[in-house]
Amino acid sequence: MVDAGISAKRIEAGLNSFDMTSLDMDAILLTHEHSDHISGLGVLARKYHLPIYATQGTIDAVATKRSLGTIDPSLYHVIRPDQTFTIGDMEICPMHISHDAADPVAYTMRQRTEDGDKRVAVCTDLGAYDDYTIERLQGMDAMLLEANHDVKMLEVGPYPYPLKQRILGSRGHLSNESSGQLLGRLLHDKIKHILLGHLSHENNLEELAYETVRLEVTLGDNPYQGSDFPITVAHRDRPSVRVVV
Q: What is the DSSP string of 170-234?
A: TTS--BHHHHHHHHHHH--TT--EEEEE---SSS--HHHHHHHHHHHHHHSSSS--TTSS-EEEP
Distance from C-alpha of 234 to C-alpha of 179, rounded to nearest angstrom: 14
Segment 126-151, tens digit of pLDDT = 999 999 999 999 999 999 999 999 99
* Mean pLDDT across the chain: 97
pLDDT tens digits, one per residue of 30-66: 999 999 999 999 999 999 999 999 999 999 999 999 9
Domain residue ranges of the chain, discontinuous segments joined by +: 115-245
The pLDDT value recorded for residue 107 is: 99
Residue 151: in which H helix or E strand, if any? helix 151-156
pLDDT tens, residue by residue, 80-119: 999 999 999 999 999 999 999 999 999 999 999 888 899 9
